[in-house]
Amino acid sequence: MCTASMEKTTPGARPSEGTTGVRPADDAGAALAGLLHDGMTIAVGGFGLSGVPVDLIDAVRESGVRDLVVVSNNMGIDGKGLGLLLENRQVRKVVASYVGENQLFARQYLDGELEVEFTPQGSLAERLRAGGAGIPAFYTRTGVGTQVAEGKPTADFDGVTYLLERGIVADLALVRAHTCDPYGNLTYRCTARNFNPVVATAGRVTVAEAEHLSETPIDPDHVVTPGVYVDRFVAARARVKVIEQRTVRERPAVAGVQA
């Protein structure tokens, strides 16, 4: 899963000078055609159910590939997001920082069906960023003296102990964007940005689904993920966005206004 260098492969032709860009895939299944195989490592953007590439996850489920190593902040919830791959018994190992909202995830882990590598959330983000930047490893104080540090090298700098963490490079990265232009440049919206930008850089091949496909290039000052990182993209299907947890407070009574 972790490598010392990152070679970006390009399964589809990129825009050349004077062209208008790349044609999006017809659907998520077509976007992943020829990319999936058993035992591969897939990094997936999202946080909870926000910014999750749901169409691409559905296509992975429908492909039937097995023994996957999934790198993601969490595994969705039961029946939603990456939880679908758990239900289908397609995942062998998970690298994540949080499992609390998925009962099946916890049960498979406790029953020994699923290998889990817990990684502090900030360390996970940095491992993905490092992999995308070609950095094989880095030192951090996070996790020193805890179970996170078991089996990992440490070193002292200026009298302080640091833990060595490896960068992550995945065989395939799946991300969800708000807008994608013809050149694969991506922008994200609000909280849906979360892990997506670092995941996009950490894949040998990166596929994006976007809520909006722009016919014109995105202003360079607004681009979050440059198109050089994106190999294929597809328009996201319209669907109701699931809210993981809704917490609201009672609206205070105001004279003359019905609550």
Would you place residue 12 in the very low, low, confident or very high pLDDT band (cuts 50, 70, 90)?
A: very low
d(CA 128, CA 123): 9
Domain boundaries, the chain: 28-134+168-235
Please state, rounded to an integer, the average pLDDT across all residues of the chain. Answer: 89
CA angle 230, 236, 238 (to 5 degrees): 165
User: Residues 43-84: pLDDT tens digits?
Assistant: 999 998 899 999 999 999 999 999 999 999 988 888 888 999
CATH of the domain spanning 28-134+168-235, picked from 3.40.50.620, 3.40.1080.10, 3.30.70.120, 3.20.20.70: 3.40.1080.10
Q: DSSP letters along 220-254, please?
A: GGG-SB-GGG-SEEEEPPP-PPPPS-----PPPPB
What's the whole-number mean pLDDT along residues 220-230?
Answer: 96
Under DSSP, the state recorded for 113 is S
pTM above 0.95, yes or no: no
